């Protein structure tokens, strides 16, 4: 009996050492420690021994029992800790409040502009941020030695084209998507193309290396400067209120002819002159014009049959003016004290 008990003890100890999870442990408890277990049978038989043996064996059995229950409870707490680690958590504390984010102010204005143009039947298109020199400059009628193409002037990328030239550039404006859209959809075509652009700027409060633009085009038979003016007037009223006026003055861009800027009456002083509009009463918001026939041709469109207008503006500048933000670098700063204000 003594031998049987000691053998059983060894068996139980080695089985306990192998326990992996609470299910495992429960099965072992059932097998070795329940009323119907072999161990319990041995304990029960002690009462039938003679007094001397009862004393000797009883003491041994008791020691074995204590030892086994001790290691059982050690294993139990080990498994519990593993399965429900407590750490320093106080379960009575209220849970953390889930914090909801919101759209970036540039995204908010972009959404407004997209819905305005969608309601006028414009498509909203996307283009690659890494562009070829061809789409970013050549197809848009930039002269071969235009300074904007200088390696040091913007972010050219270390990838050679099939003619062994460094040809890839982080797009400097959204205008290349004009050509992509013309090639893909042909005429007639109305689309806006919002997106991120990059320039090698020595950044300051008004210049950032990464910024957003919205490009727009409308191409069809007999599309004229009057259509351009009509659409831009609507945009101004939507952005700055119904009394907003548009002023257009000639400006050179290689991809339009004639080219123009677009200025709106200052929303802050209603045209009287203030700090925001540098006392002119006008805010220069965009560039625009009639698409150059060469550009239409590069987009695969017959410039004898079709004409079109194009415009482009910086989204960052719109948001800065709307909220009186004085440093463009705040947009990409990730500073929640700034972002939470919108």
Binding site feature residues for Mg(2+) = 257
| Residue 191: CB minimum distance to ligand DAH, A | 12
| Residue 96: CB minimum distance to ligand DAH, A | 44
Instruction: Tell me, rounded to whole angstroms, the distance of Cα 147 from its chain centroid.
Output: 33
Residue with tokens 């800027």: 261
**Which of 311, 304, 295, 112 lies closest to 229, judged by CA?**
311
Cβ distance to ligand DAH smaller for residue 287 or 299: 287
**Which of 264, 312, 317, 252 lies closest to 288, judged by CA?**
312
| Residue 286: CB minimum distance to ligand DAH, A | 7
* Token pair listed for 133: 């020199």
* Token pair listed for 52: 């001397």
Residue 18 CB-half CA count within 13 A: 9
Instruction: Tell me, rounded to whole angstroms, the distance of Cα 327 from its chain centroid.
Output: 22
Is residue 175 within 8 A of residue 255, CB to CB? The reply is yes
Cβ distance to ligand DAH smaller for residue 122 or 311: 311
| Residue 115: CB minimum distance to ligand DAH, A | 21
Cβ distance to ligand DAH smaller for residue 29 or 257: 257
| Residue 284: CB minimum distance to ligand DAH, A | 11
Torsion of CA 143, 146, 150, 154, to 10 degrees: -100
Cβ distance to ligand DAH smaller for residue 241 or 300: 300
Cβ distance to ligand DAH smaller for residue 16 or 307: 307
Residue 336 CB-half CA count within 13 A: 4
| Residue 268: CB minimum distance to ligand DAH, A | 24
Start-to-end Cα distance in the chain: 82
Where do contacts with ligand DAH occur on this chain (CB under 6 A)?
173, 175, 215, 253, 256, 287-289, 310-312
Question: What's phi and psi for 209, nearest 5 deg?
Answer: -75, -20
* Token pair listed for 58: 């009883």
């Amino acid at each position: 009996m003594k031998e049987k008990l000691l053998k059983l003890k060894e068996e139980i100890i080695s089985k306990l050492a192998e326990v992996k999870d609470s299910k495992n442990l429960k099965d072992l408890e059932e097998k070795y420690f329940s009323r119907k277990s072999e161990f319990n049978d041995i304990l029960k038989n002690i009462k039938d021994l003679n007094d001397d043996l009862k004393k000797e064996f009883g003491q041994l059995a008791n020691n074995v029992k204590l030892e086994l229950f001790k290691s059982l409870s050690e294993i139990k707490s080990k498994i519990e800790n593993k399965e429900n680690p407590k750490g320093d958590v106080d379960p009575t504390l209220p849970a953390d409040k889930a914090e909801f984010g919101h759209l970036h102010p540039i995204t908010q204005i972009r959404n407004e502009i997209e819905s305005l143009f969608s309601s006028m039947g414009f498509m909203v298109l996307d283009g690659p941020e890494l562009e070829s020199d061809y789409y970013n400059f050549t197809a848009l009628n930039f002269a071969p030695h235009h300074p904007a193409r200088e390696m040091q002037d913007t972010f050219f990328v270390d990838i050679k084209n099939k003619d062994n030239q460094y040809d890839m550039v982080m797009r400097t404006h959204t205008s290349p998507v004009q050509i992509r859209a013309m090639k893909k959809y042909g005429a007639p075509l109305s689309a806006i193309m919002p997106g991120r652009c990059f320039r090698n700027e020595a950044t300051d409060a008004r210049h950032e290396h990464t910024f957003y633009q919205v490009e727009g085009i409308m191409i069809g038979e007999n599309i004229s400067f009057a259509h351009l003016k009509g659409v831009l007037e609507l945009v101004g009223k939507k952005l700055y209120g119904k009394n907003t006026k548009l002023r257009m003055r000639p400006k050179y861009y290689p991809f339009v002819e004639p080219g123009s800027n677009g200025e709106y009456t200052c929303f802050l002083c209603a045209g009287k002159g203030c700090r925001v509009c540098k006392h002119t009463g006008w805010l220069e918001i965009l560039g625009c014009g009639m698409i150059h026939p060469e550009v239409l041709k590069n987009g695969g469109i017959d410039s004898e049959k079709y004409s079109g207008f194009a415009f482009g503006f910086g989204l960052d500048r719109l948001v800065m003016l709307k909220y009186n933000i004085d440093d463009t670098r705040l947009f990409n700063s990730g500073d929640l004290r700034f972002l939470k204000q919108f």
